[in-house]
Amino acid sequence: MPTRHFASDNYAGITPEAWAALAEANQGHEPAYGNDRWTQRAADLIREQFETPCEVFFVFNGTAANSLALAHSTQSYHSVLCHSVAHVETDECGAPEFFCNGTKLLQLPGEDGRLTPAGIEEAVKRRTDIHYPKPAVVTVTQATEVGTIYTPAELRAIGSMAKKHGLKFHMDGARFANAVAALGVAPREITWQAGVDVLCFGGTKNGIHVGEAVVFFNRELAREFDYRAKQGGQLCSKMRFVSAPWLGMLQDGAWLRYAGHANAMARLMHSLIREIPGVKVLFPQQVNSVFVDLPKPTIQALWAKGWLFYNFIGEGGCRLMCSWDTQEEDVRAFAADLAAAMPAKVG
């Protein structure tokens, strides 16, 4: 039975670096609610990574990060423009609408999980009357739900369009590390330099035990976010155990090393299974996932062998997600089982 799977990067455990930082933080007493040395240092390290004086808040998960960041950027009569497969729309149980007190998510199409400036403009101009929920925010996911990435130029174009129409620019970065590693850019190039106001910077899928950072590049927008996080049940009292792992991940570049490794494992998976007759790759392989269309009996056979993976994420098909700890032998074993489980071709 396999011990590592391709279901999600949150099936993986904690990186040694994050674990060591947790252990190091577990000494003596420290002020609570984020007034500790670890939280201060982690926030400073994030500012260093982005090379700008942003405001940083640590919360427990991505749903809270996105929902509270969106709530802080909207009024209840506003709308948020998002892709139709966006996590905020399909996988957060209405939390954004709940925390926004009624703000409506408006779904936009876009190839490979990506929004386009033209699509955003169309949505803004579609209606401008009082009866329509006024667009106030555009949100993108980097990397996207279907494992693709926006280039810096694409993000700059969306940022300009947002600015043109007075929209705030939110980024769901649950897999931000994978996008940075894949693009080989400085984090600033795909965030504030592209006009992003607020980033939900994912830690969990990158290898931390729990926690995401809400990073406000628009510092005015961050005003009183500490109150919103507290009201939302997201102010951890023993905050050092949420923030310390970020030190372990950020201080020597471990976050990008692990994300790059996960990306490389997906690249290997892609190269091995794309050649198998009958396997149809659904999206360009750009980060740590491969989306494929597989025959139902093949899916059943792989599950029966003990492999765990989802077949309902994004726009359908099977999602094979690699993690910081995915090993080459895991990928090769899965690909071999997949090849063996494909129906024999007749004729």
Ligand X SMILES: *Cc1c(COP(=O)(O)O)cnc(C)c1O
Q: Which CB, 22 or 179, lies closer to ligand X?
A: 179
Unique residue bearing structure tokens 């991505």: 62
CA–CA distance, 320 with 269 (Å, rounded to integer): 8
Stretch that binds ligand X, among 47-55, 60-68, 70-78, 132-140 (CB under 6 A): 60-68
Residues 62-81 that bind ligand X (CB under 6 A): 62-63
Dihedral over Cα of 335, 336, 338, 343: its sign: positive
Q: Taking the complex as a whole, how short is the minimal distance between the CB of residue 141 and ligand X, in angstroms?
A: 5
CB of 169 to ligand X, least distance (A): 16
Q: Which of residues 175-214 bind ligand X (CB under 6 A)?
A: 204-205
Question: Is 49 an interacting residue with respect to ligand X (CB under 6 A)?
Answer: no
Q: Which stretch binds ligand X (CB under 6 A): 58-66, 180-188, 282-290, 291-299?
A: 58-66
Which residues 87-106 are close enough to bind ligand X by CB under 6 A? 87
- At residue 86, the 3 state secondary structure works out as coil
User: Do the beta carbons of residue 343 and residue 28 sit within 8 Å?
Assistant: no
For residues 55 and 186, is the Cβ–Cβ distance under 8 A?
A: no
| 174 is an interface residue for ligand X by CB under 6 A | yes
Output 61 or 288, the one with its CB closest to ligand X: 61
Number of residues near ligand X (by CB under 6 A): 10
Nearer to ligand X, 56 or 124 (CB): 56
CA distances from 106 to 103, 123, 137, 138, 332 (A): 10, 8, 10, 10, 41
DSSP 188: G
Q: How far is the CB of 270 from ligand X (least distance, A)?
A: 19
247-285 b/e with 16+ CB inside 10 Å = b?
A: bbbbeeebbbbbbbbbbbbbbbbbebbeebeebeebbeb
Q: Which of residues 141, 178, 206, 288 is near ligand X by CB under 6 A? A: 141
Site residues, ligand X (CB under 6 A)? 61-63, 87, 141, 145, 172, 174, 204-205
